Structure 1
Amino acid sequence: MRRSRITVAGIALAGLALAGCGAGGGSAHGARTAAATMDTSAIKASHSPVGDILVDGSGRTLYLFTEDGKNTNSMNCDAACMKLWPHMEGKPHAGAGVGANLIGHTKGSGKVQVTYAGHPLYYYAKDRKAGDLKGQGIDKVWYVVNAKGTAVEKAVPAPSSSGGGGYGY
């Protein structure tokens, strides 16, 4: 009998430990989860509450980091930053509303990163699905990008209380 109590207690503790692993939005696990759903086959324009913005092939929002500057090979998002802001990799084609001549690549931190109009592109690990804009305006340096390749510095409007339009929150 004593043995089964220990087993049940051990199983309960293991279950709690595993449940805690999924909650860490800024953890490496959170970044891997986000990375698993990234479709880097395309960059396209998509309508959002802040206007038309760039998204990947699955509709995941793309961001720029104003500290990176433009047309530079030095990215200022270090390894710790990259856990929360994984960069877009691959060789995407231009989708609807996007200029193919604006898609490029830069090599910083040893990896090739996709750029748009000279800006390295990133995902936000806490954006879990197409249409999420949770990274918009963070620290006044992370912004969504429009089809011209400039930061969209508008705040995301609060969802209406009428029940429609949660914007991924």
Structure 2
Amino acid sequence: MTPSAAGRALKLAGVVVLAALMLCACAHSSDSRTHDALLEIPVPKTVTVTTSKVAGLGKILADSHGRTLYMFPPDAGGRVTCTGPCAGTWPPLVIASGNKPTSAAGVNPLDLGTLADPNTGASVVTYGGYPLYRYAGDLAAGTANGQGLYLNGGPWYALNPDMQPVTTPPGK
């Protein structure tokens, strides 16, 4: 590579890095209390936790779209430990701060709560004190592709309405 070509390549790399930094700054400048910082979608003011039957797992908690909700044992003690890239794979079930989640039939409303979400500044919906998450690999309602996966420092389990993690492998 000639010295002038190397200089142009270096300048181009600098421009790419600068553009990436500017995009990151813009993404973080949005109102994190009204948008999911990772997905840039509005944080809902209402959330309903319901149940769904998944083959091999039985009756488990689901969001209002029928997507499986998971718990992460390292969150014991009522804290959200899945942040940053982890939350991209396991998006927490969030609700706008100051709002309360609702329950459908089969879900005990007394077991629902919220915790501050370090990812968005909103609130994460909890059940029995455990933050609830979805799995990015669950592309359709009634699937549980995240069941039993060991990622981000621990296993991920669907949660049944009795606040028990379902440790059965999927499809068994």
- After TM superposition, the score normalised by the length of structure 1 is 0.66
Gaps of 5+ in 2: 1-37
Residue aligned with 2:147, SS: coil
CA drift of 1:107 comes to 1.1
Q: How many residues end up aligned between the 2 structures?
A: 124
- After TM superposition, the score normalised by the length of structure 2 is 0.65
Instruction: Find the partner of 1:86 among 75, 87, 91.
Output: 91
Gaps of 5+ in 1: 1-30, 159-169
Moved over 2 A (4+): none
Q: Give the corresponding residue for 1:18.
A: none
RMSD over aligned CA atoms reads 2.4
CA drift of 1:42 comes to 1.1
Inter-partner Cα distance in structure 2 for 1:94 and 1:114: 11
Correspondence 1:125 to 2:136: yes
CA drift of 1:87 comes to 0.3
The share of aligned pairs that are identical, in percent, is 35
Map 1:124-163 onto structure 2 (within 5 A): 124-139=135-150, 141-157=155-171
CA drift of 1:144 comes to 0.2
Correspondence 1:42 to 2:48: yes
Inter-partner Cα distance in structure 2 for 1:108 and 1:88: 10
Map 1:3-152 onto structure 2 (within 5 A): 32=39, 41-49=47-55, 50-70=57-77, 72=78, 74-90=79-95, 91-109=100-118, 110-139=121-150, 141-152=155-166
CA offsets 1:122-152 (integer angstroms, 9 cap, x no match): 0001111101110000016100000011210
Inter-partner Cα distance in structure 2 for 1:69 and 1:157: 27
